[in-house]
Structure 1
Amino acid sequence: MKVINLHQEEQELILLAVDNNRQAQQRIYTLFSPKMLSVCRQYIKDIHQAEDVMLTAFMKVFTNLKNFMNIGSFEGWIRRIMVNECISFIRVQKNIKFTDDETFFEESYNNIESQFSIEDIQFLIDSLPDGYKMIFNLYAIEGYKHKEIAEMLGINEGTSKSQLSHARKILQKQINTTKNYEYGTE
């Protein structure tokens, strides 16, 4: 069995892609596009628009590949470009306004993974208002802190916390409604 150093292979691919080697660029795209489409889909409900945003973001990846400093993971660097491109797309398309309501509640929520399929969870998240959905994805899915989200979106940190709190309440209400419907208690 031959052991392949994936990190070294990735670095070689990056160097070739920086030199506009189309095969290397295609390989990078093939390796990362399924995950990155999933990232875009978390923010953008329409699959065709999510694909368009992903393609635009990949163009930015290849344009800025020379700026990748090998600090952190390459996939993480690409993912950040995808998230930023999604945010830009949503801002232009939806003209989202965030309310400066800084009241929020920290509540604990049960793990719902075992109760719902990934498609069900994505459907629930998709039904959130765009601002709530964006903050929820950035915080709960991407792992950004409220301070980072506030900087990315040009909002107050309290607004980020408030939007997340409202998103969680809506999701919890939807989950409870779905449970009640499934068990015939509604």
Structure 2
Amino acid sequence: MLRLIPFFTTESQLIAALKRGESRAHKVVYERFAGKMLAVCTRYCSNRDDAEEVMLDGFMRVFEKIEQFREDGSFEGWIRRVMVTESLMFLRKSKQWRQETSIEDVTVEPDYEWADTALNESDLLRIVNQLPDGYRTIFNLYAIEGYSHAEIADMLGISEGTSKSQLSRARAILQMSLKKMEQEPGRRNQTGNYEKTYRKTAN
């Protein structure tokens, strides 16, 4: 249920107004979700201008496709999936997600048992955003959105093996970056899995 806001007191009322095409409902949805959805798009589109454009296209898609929303699920979650789809469409058009770092550049194997970091949330978000676009896209889809490798392969038009290998390389790069930052002077150790921490900051 929505917080008390002008015109609409429940999410069902808001959705009904959207389906009637009411402009005030569009305004309420945009104002309520724009900040969160820009953050979603920014995780896929490293350029903020591109992320803002994708977000606006995403809201247009939400308003156009609102009849497809079944109210037995989360409205915010449905909007988020639309934004992810729009981001992937942008990356496919620009071919950014195909950018890869050579495997020779990844000099360590990911250690999934390693979980000690000395990072705050902004540090973690920053190093994930510095991943090559292809790695970052698959890391976000798998670790944040919860898609399976089969689903990612279908979404991106790649093999499951490619999805798995890019995720592994992304984790290896992240681990190296995290360990380097942990060794910086003045940092205090704190224990926590970086993917769980990142998932928490992303939601």
Q: Same fold (TM over 0.5)?
A: yes
Task: Please report the RMSD computed on the Cα atoms of aligned residues, expressed in angstroms.
Answer: 2.4
Distance verdict in 2 for CA 1:147–1:111, change over 3 Å: farther
- 1:170 maps to what in 2? 173
Question: Is contact 1:98–1:155 with CA below 8 Å preserved after alignment?
Answer: no
SS in 1 for 2:183: helix
Tell me the equivalent position of 1:132: 135
Question: Aligned partners of 2:116 and 2:34: how far apart in 1?
Answer: 28
- Over residues 24-55 of structure 1, what are the superposed CA-to-partner deviations in whole Å (9 max), with x where a residue is unaligned? 11111111111111111111122222111101
Which residue of 103, 109, 115 corresponds with 1:110? 115
Once the two structures are TM-superposed, the CA of residue 105 in structure 1 deviates from its matched residue by 6.7
In 1, Cα distance between equivalents of 2:153 and 2:116? 26
Q: Does 1:157 align with 2:160?
A: yes
TM-score (norm 1): 0.84
**TM-score, normalised on structure 2?**
0.78
| One of 145, 148, 151 as aligned partner of 1:148 | 151
Aligned to 1:73: 74
Partner residue in 2 for 1:42: 43
Q: Deviations over 1:93-130 (max 9, x none)?
A: 2343378x9xx977234164xx3232211210121111
Q: How many equivalent pairs are there?
A: 175
Identity among equivalent positions (%) equals 43
Higher relative contact order (CA 8 A, sep 6+): 2
Return the offset for 1:170.
0.2
Unaligned regions of 5+ residues in structure 2, if any? 4-8, 104-108, 188-203
The unaligned stretches of length 5 or more in structure 1 are none
Q: Could you tell me how far apart the structure 2 residues matched to 1:64 and 1:81 are?
A: 10
Give the conservation status (yes or no) of the 8 Å contact 1:40–1:82.
yes
